[in-house]
Amino acid sequence: MPSLDQPSSETVTPTRDHDDVPASDLGVESGDLRSTADAPTNPSRMLEVAARTADELVANARTEAESLVSTAQATAHQIGEASRNEAATMADELSRTRAEQLAEIESERAAAMGQLAEDKASLEAQIAALRDMEADQRARMRQLLTEQLAQLDAERPVEPPDGTD
């Protein structure tokens, strides 16, 4: 194989002339070629066919690119919609869960407040009983002390009045 860096001593000779190229290899119908008398125009005809083919390929590529872009946009739109739907579902679920938690907390708070009210009533009843007991004890102690003072006063001998005091 000859290197590209060194000039080759071999000359390449084409095996067939461009005028001998069949019309089917050029991508044209045989009716498009006028005649062999137009042989000098065959290279220009080949350029025309090549340009037309290039234009068709570019048009096909553009059509395919537009199709790919359209498909990508549709897919992106579907993914966006799915994401929005999932976000809405999650938000609804979060809202429902929060409402359930708030209801549970409110129920627990109401139960705790009820228990506290019962405890308060019980403690107030105990305080009232203790106050009654205290009042009863004071009354008994007062009565006992009064009786003892009366006994002390009754037991005291009466001293004769002495003028010597």
For residues 45 and 38, the answer to whether their CB atoms sit within 8 Å is: yes
| Residue 78 confidence (pLDDT) | 96
**Residue 128: CB partners within 8 Å, gap ≥ 6?**
none
Report CA 56 to chain centroid distance, whole Å. 48
Higher per-residue confidence, 2 vs 53: 53
Residue with token string 């429902």: 96
| Residue 28 confidence (pLDDT) | 47
**Residue 32: CB partners within 8 Å, gap ≥ 6?**
23, 45, 49
Mean pLDDT taken over the chain: 81
Tell me the pLDDT tens digit for each residue of 84-94: 999 999 999 99
Residue with token string 């065959």: 42
Residue 84 CA to residue 90 CA, distance in Å, equals 10
**pLDDT band for position 158 (50/70/90)?**
low
C-beta neighbour count of 49 within 10 angstroms: 17
List the Cα angle 144/146/149 in 5-degree steps.
110
Among 36-40, 81-85, 150-154, which is the least confidently predicted range?
A: 36-40
**Please, what sign has the CA dihedral across residues 8, 11, 14, 19?**
positive
In the chain, how many H helices and how many E strands? 2, 0
pTM of the model: 0.41
Full 3-state SS string of 9-22 = CCCCCCCCCHHHCC
